[in-house]
Chain A
Amino acid sequence: MRDFPLRTRVFITAVIVAGLLGVVSCVLHVWHGPDVFTHVCEIVALALLVFASETFSAALARSVATREGVSISVTMPIAMASVLILGPWGAPLVTAMVALEPRPTPWFKRFFNGGMNVLATFGAAWVYVWLHALLSHEPVAPFPGAVEFDPVTVLIPMLAATLVHETINGILMVTVLALAERVSPWRVWFGTMAESALPLFIYSIFGLMLAVVWSTISPLASVLVLAPLMVARWVFTMFSARQEAYESTIRSLIQAVETKDAYTRGHSERVSRASVLIGRSAGMREDRVSSLRYAGMLHDVGKLGVPTRILQKSGKLTDEEFDAIKMHPTRGREITKDLEFLGEAVEGILLHHERMDGRGYPNGLQGDEIPEFARILSVADAFDSMTTTRSYRGARSIEEALEELRRCKDTQFDANFVEALVAAVTREGWDVVDTTDQVTPSHGSPAMGSDDDDPTASTQLGLGLATPVDTAALDAFLTDVLSDSGNQTAKDSGGAS
């Protein structure tokens, strides 16, 4: 807590105090309201359910041993069911339970989470009460109790209440992030909200089911509503673990080729990023962009097949050796051609050294004969080569590199994609920093030769490395926030460190 700037500390304290005030007034209302015993029992039972499901999910997540990606919250449906069963004065007491989450968490984050959820639930419950009264033309008792299903008077208010819950949570979370990390609130906001449309619907439906089963069949049976959700959550966790494993496996195999040449480390990763920027900026569909991402990552995979001796050779290469290097796009295609999900990316990998004027390799294609993916990869490849340090020259500034790309458009590069890159880099900036884990080459000496694959090898000058920015910590923090949109938890990573 002490590591935060003053304004952040003030904000966090304010949320915690507001949450505590909310809890106290809820307790007073329950105490002076009707049927104290029943309501206390219901509150305790639902709170235990929150605690149990959190503990259980945490144990499952541990068994998979991963940080969670975007996942399904089990707490959120229980919170929404509490809104239906207990109303505005009871439900916040249930959601306050998230402060007791089983993961090791600093105290202020626990209280902040608790306070945030109390406020969100309180707001959601009042919206529900108000809309329900408006649509059913009858006032709602402060503690509704029995819930019967009705598409108009129950489902619609429920959806609205869930939306309000997520929005309040979102605003508080975004504010604390913006204050602590000095990021644009819009960036965070867009990230969290864009993904929450489907969960929103799911949480509403599940909350409704839970409440109906709770009050018409038996509170015990409501555990059964949560079971498929728990299973789905568990599978999603395994899914994101697998996806993570998947990407890091590709990355580490790519790094196996990059260990052959210390100067190209992180190159594939950055070409991948630059290709995505170009693709998006040129208005490509998202599935093609995703394919482009893998294309960038794998564009030099064929180099794995080039003998290390040649890649690490210092001094001039013989024609034969140069031909061996020129084989890498063909080999890359051979390796990747069976990967169904790559689609047109395979052709891109084969042809990423073609030039618009037809002087490239392997096929000497011209202009429009070269597929779009290959043209994009070629721009991204050149851009990264120029902006990073090579053994035989320093890195150029981003401006110089873009200028150079513009100079070579139509002879070497596709003008549209060069402009797309310029626009994207001007808009979003570009970090030259290597975001991949550093590999310690245990075999072979650091390469002293030139990068003979360098598309810009003929034009070498320039100085100055762009300042590296530590985006990794922020990204980790954002991912954590995204991981559980119902129970938005500021976890240990990044934020407080």
Chain B
Amino acid sequence: MSRRKDVRSVVPLQLVAAIVAVSSFAFTAANPLPQGVIHAGVVFGLFIALGEILRVTLPGGRQAAPLAAAGSLAFALLPEINGVQLPGVAFAVTVVTLASIIGSLPRVFVGRGLHLDEVSQRVLMTATAAALIRPWLELTTNSNVQLIAMVVAGALAGLLEIALAAATRANEARVPFSVALVDEFRAMIGITTAVTATGVLMALAAGRMNYWALPVFAVPMLLTQFSFRRYASIEATYLQTIRALSKVTEVGGYTETGHARRVSRLASRIGSEMGMTERELTDLEYAALMHDIGQLAWPEPFPGGATSLIAPVHQRRIAELGAQVVRQSGALDSVAQIVERQADAYRPQRGLPDATLPLASRIIRVANAYDDAVGASLDMERMHYALDRLSGGTDRDYDPAVVDALGRIVDRRLEESYS
């Protein structure tokens, strides 16, 4: 079922890209190319294919091939090389498309599949950059004007790529486009800046340094790529550690096995259902993993570890103690705030909702109560019973919007388990 959804969502983007690519192939095949042009295409194509192999994982789990992207942009912007004038948009698109597919082949062979949406984005990015720059290259030979035109064309093409990636993700992950755009922009702006600068430099320098421009200006890009890799790896280790340490309450018998992880998974799902950005989701996940840390200061575990069943004053004390521990780290203040308010009622006075209560805290409260009732069980009756009880509590304790979102998630899960 999820497969069909993916295919449906990316079809328009891939369709447009395919039309652009095929018409470029046709146009290129119909016109004879001079030797020097073919030579340039092969060299740049090899560079792009190689860059496609040297991929990097960005923080947040996104994949990118910055060297391939920079090479593609450079080839789209390139007016001439080795004294040979390059023919234009169609040829650039042809070379970039073929090279990207060839560069992805090793991954296909090891069974990781072809990222068609990523290739499509690059095809459209190349076409845009090439189409934007051509008029300027014919208009002027002033290198400063060309430089500015290239930077503008490259930046616009880069922004287009970000927007396309956001559209793809909005469809796949069922998040609003605006949220996906913010996420994508935050995650990609650094690497896109570096790619644009490198692509423009390669295109400019190729007039003078010929093909030496490619390896020389790949060095800064590799440094950037290296720093991203290190960052992504520490990010992953961080999450892994918090996950592991969230087990301390279970190991000590304070909570049931897997409670923290289930709450965090459920909270993340509710969060993305309610349109939270990635940054907010990360904080939510950390807070959910550590929401019971405060119990450690308690002399004895509570029966069954079910904090939703103890007196509100104790719940709040645990939340405060937990927040204190989290705040101690000095780096997770927003997480500490979420943990601190996880036990606060949605409508403290049985009237208006508390406007200062963070959405993440409301989500954790609901997810925690749900898991206390259901746990790892897959019993349908229990799930419905838990949902009913939560709905009954929306006049005071729980945010009705969060309970609704949870209801939709539970329904979907039941549907999936029956189909």
- Partner-B contacts on A (CB < 8 A): 72, 149, 202, 205-206, 209, 213, 216-218, 220-221, 224-225, 227-232, 234-236, 238-239, 241-246, 248-253, 255-257, 259-260, 301-302, 304-309, 312, 331, 334-341, 437, 439, 442-444
Q: How many A-B residue pairs have CB under 8 A?
A: 187
With A218-B143, A239-B227, A253-B325: A307-B220 Cβ-Cβ less than 8 Å = no
When chains A and B are docked, how far (Å) is the Cα of A340 from the Cα of B221?
Answer: 29
- Residues A304 and B252 in contact, CB atoms below 8 Å apart: yes
B329 interface neighbour in A220, A231, A238, A251, Cβ under 8 Å? A251
Task: Check if B54 is an interface residue, CB within 8 A of chain A.
Answer: no
Contact indicator B328/A301 (Cβ below 8 Å): no
Most buried by A among B230, B241, B298: B241
Q: Which residues of B contact A308 (CB under 8 A)?
A: 296-300
A-contact 0/1 string along B175-216, CB 8 Å cutoff: 000000000000000110110111011001100110000001
Query: Could you say which of A218, A225, A257, A331 contacts B220, with CB atoms under 8 Å apart?
Result: A225
Contact pick for A248, options B204, B228, B329, CB 8 Å: B329
Q: Does B275 contact A (CB under 8 A)?
A: no
Known contacts: A206-B220, A248-B330. The answer to whether A331 contacts B299 by CB under 8 A is no
Q: Using Cβ atoms and an 8 Å threshold, which residues of chain A touch B245?
A: 250, 253, 301, 335
Which of chain B's residues have a CB closer than 8 A to the CB of A230? 193
Q: Is B33 among interface residues, defined by CB-CB distance under 8 A? A: no
Among A306, A309, A341, A442, the residue within 8 A (CB) of B324 is A442
- A253–B329 alpha-carbon span in the complex (Å): 8
Q: Mark B379-400, 1 if CB is under 8 A from A, else 0.
A: 0000000000000000000000
Are A239 and B231 in contact, with the CB atoms below 8 A? yes
Shortest C-beta distance, A402 to chain B (Å), equals 33
B255 CB, nearest partner CB in chain A, Å: 11
Query: Would you call B108 an interface residue if the criterion is a C-beta within 8 Å of the partner chain's C-beta atoms?
Result: no
**Structural contact, A339 and B244, CB atoms closer than 8 A:** yes
State A339–B248 Cα separation when bound (angstroms): 14
Residue in chain A with minimal CB distance to B59: A238
Residue B173, interface by CB 8 Å: no
Residues of A within 8 A of B317 (CB): 443
Q: What is the CA–CA distance of A255 and B324 in the complex, to the nearest angstrom?
A: 11
B247 within 8 A of A: yes
A301 touches B248 (CB 8 A): yes
Distance (whole angstroms) from the CB of B257 to the closest CB of chain A: 11
A338 lies within 8 A of B244 (CB): yes
Q: Choose the segment among B232-240, B304-312, B358-366 that binds chain A (4+ C-beta atoms closer than 8 Å).
A: B232-240
Partner of A304, one of B217, B296, B329: B296
* Chain A residues positioned under 8 Å from B162 (CB to CB): none
Specify which of B237, B249, B331 lies most central, judged by the most chain A CB atoms within 10 Å of its CB.
B331
Whether the Cβ atoms of B331 and A217 lie closer than 8 Å is: no
Complex A-B: 21 CB contacts under 8 Å: A213-B201, A217-B205, A221-B204, A225-B197, A228-B198, A229-B220, A230-B193, A231-B193, A231-B227, A232-B227, A236-B230, A246-B241, A248-B329, A249-B331, A253-B325, A304-B248, A304-B296, A305-B249, A335-B248, A335-B251, A339-B240
Q: What residues of A have a CB within 8 angstroms of the CB of B144 in the complex?
A: 218, 220
CB contacts (< 8 Å) of A252 on chain B: these are 325-326, 328-330
Please state if B296 and A331 are interface contacts (CB–CB under 8 Å).
Answer: no
Distance from A211 Cβ to chain B, minimum over Cβ atoms (Å): 13
A contact residues around B208 at 8 Å (CB): 216-217
What 9 new A-B contacts, CB under 8 Å, besides A227-B197, A239-B231?
A: A202-B223, A209-B220, A217-B208, A227-B193, A234-B190, A256-B296, A305-B254, A308-B296, A338-B243
Interface size on B, residues (CB 8 A): 64
Minimal Cβ-Cβ distance residue in A for B151 = A224
Distance, CA A239 to CA B293, complexed state (A): 26
Q: Does B7 contact A (CB under 8 A)?
A: no
- Give chain B residues whose Cβ lies under 8 Å from the Cβ of A236: 227, 230-231
A339 touches B251 (CB 8 A): no
User: Are A334 and B296 interface neighbours, CB within 8 A?
Assistant: no
Report B119-153 CB contacts with A as 1/0, cut-off 8 Å.
Answer: 00000000000000000000000011001100100
A335–B331 CA distance with the chains assembled, in angstroms: 22
B197: A residues at CB distance < 8 A: 224-225, 227-228
CB distance from B217 to the nearest CB of A (A): 8
How far, in whole Å, are A339 and B223 apart by their CA atoms in the complex?
Answer: 28
| Interchain CA distance A218-B237 in the complex, whole Å | 43
Tell me, rounded to whole Å, the shortest Cβ–Cβ distance linking A449 to chain B.
Answer: 13
A306–chain B nearest beta-carbon distance, Å: 7
Min distance, Cβ B302 to any Cβ of chain A, angstroms: 12
Contacts of B235 in A (CB 8 A): 242
B15 is an interface residue with CB less than 8 A from chain A? no
Which residue from B148, B219, B251, B328 sits with its C-beta under 8 Å from A439? Answer: B328
Residue on A with the closest CB to B199? A224
Q: How far is the CB of B78 from chain A (nearest CB, A)?
A: 14
For B293, list chain A residues within 8 Å (CB). 253, 256
A248-B252 contact given A224-B201, A309-B299, A341-B237, CB 8 Å threshold: no
- CB distance A309 to B221 under 8 Å? no
Q: Min CB distance, B327 to chain A, in Å?
A: 8
Residue of B nearest to A444 (CB): B297
The residue in chain B whose Cβ has the minimal distance to the Cβ of A310 is B299
B292 to nearest A CB, angstroms? 11
Known: A218-B147, A302-B251. A249 touches B301 (CB 8 A): no
Q: State the CA gap A312–B301 with chains docked (Å).
A: 15
Which among A206, A220, A242, A339 is the interface contact of B231 at CB below 8 angstroms? A242
Set of chain A residues within 8 Å of B251, measured between Cβ atoms: 302, 304-305, 331, 334-335
* Contact yes or no, A437 B328, CB < 8 A: yes
